[in-house]
Amino acid sequence: MGKNEQKVALVTGSAGFIGYHIARKLLNNGWKVIGVDCISDYYDVKLKQDREKQLLQYKRYKSFHRGIEEPGFLVELFEQEQPQIVIHLAAQAGVRYSIDNPRAYMNTNIMGTFELLEAARLTKPAHVLIASTSSAYGANENMPYKESQRADHQVSIYAATKKSTENLAHSYAHLFNIPTTIFRFFTVYGPWGRPDMALFRFTKAILNEEPIDVYNYGNMKRDFTYIDDLIEAIYQLVGHPPATPSRTEVSKNTNLSPVAPYRLINIGNSKPVNLGDFVAAVETALGRKAIKNLLPLQDGDVLATWADTKELEELINFSPQVQVAEGVHRFVDWYKNYYQ
């Protein structure tokens, strides 16, 4: 890339929690960002609009409110904007909602990713980075989760659609030589987070003196990953597009495909926290106690997640900095300020 050439990134799901944060990081580092978000009403539309308002303060940000599954839309947009990198975060999220509304997941997660890969095939960006989930490990009980583990037994429709997009992306990377990185996220939390996520729900309920639902009676572990750590890792990965590796590289790096410029990588905190301890951190940050409604494990949920992040550390020399007590405190400060 020439010295004065404008760096262009396309971010899908740019008004979403993670999309907003990565778009802002790119803008702060001199990139032009093309944001795509259909602003669905899966949760509070005003929150999405307020995130986007922050991004629209940058002259280098351009926004499109369209569904990624709309046939031909992304092909046209890629041809028009010629992004060097693509960060694909748009997805229908949520394990529970996928049980009631599976079609939304097929449309956005599978058809939307297909449309994105078609656009990448035709315009050849330097690097396509696609969000997946720790839920893809499914029924695996071998902890910590390592990228080389087989992931064949997803237990939710959400996870199954995300694993399907990993497979699709691998085929495209192999057939059309598209450098592709898939990251599996582990329970991301922090300011501007989603209202359907545990930290948001707990904070809101405790402040309103309402009971919180604690599943599996609090005996669950999650590898809570603070948003700033996640964004730093994604940003650094942008500059590391995979090439089709040699045999030696494949035997050394278990997260590389042997036949494609394709890498799978965990981004987590690598320190699982018991749900009960997480609730206690929220109580401390708020200075008040929760009324707990203890419930059995929900359909589609897993008992624990724990990321092995050695591959990430070796590749970009990065490890998470923010521990749960600090991260929860920052979220609570944001929440009180945002909702006054």
H or E stretch at 133: strand 127-133
Q: How far is CA 305 from the centre of its chain?
A: 15
Whether the bond between 320 and the residue before it is cis, its omega within 30 degrees of 0, is no
Tokens found for residue 25: 């990081």
Residue 53: count other Cβ atoms within 10 Å of its Cβ.
Answer: 10
Token pair 């992304």 is at which residue? Answer: 74
Q: Tell me which of 43, 137, 145, 158 is the catalytic residue.
A: 158
CA dihedral 98, 103, 109, 111 (to 10 degrees): 170
Tokens found for residue 67: 């569904």
Long-range contacts of 241-246 (CB under 8 A, 24+ apart): 241/126, 241/127, 241/179, 241/181, 242/179, 242/180, 242/181, 243/179, 244/177
User: Is residue 262 annotated as a catalytic residue, yes or no?
Assistant: no
Residue 196: count other Cβ atoms within 10 Å of its Cβ.
Answer: 15
d(CA 213, CA 32): 42
d(CA 230, CA 192): 14
Q: How far is CA 115 from CA 72, 75, 86, 315, in A?
A: 7, 7, 13, 29
d(CA 231, CA 25): 8
Residue 237: count other Cβ atoms within 10 Å of its Cβ.
Answer: 22
Q: Phi and psi dihedrals of 125, rounded to 5?
A: -65, 160
The residues that are catalytic are 158
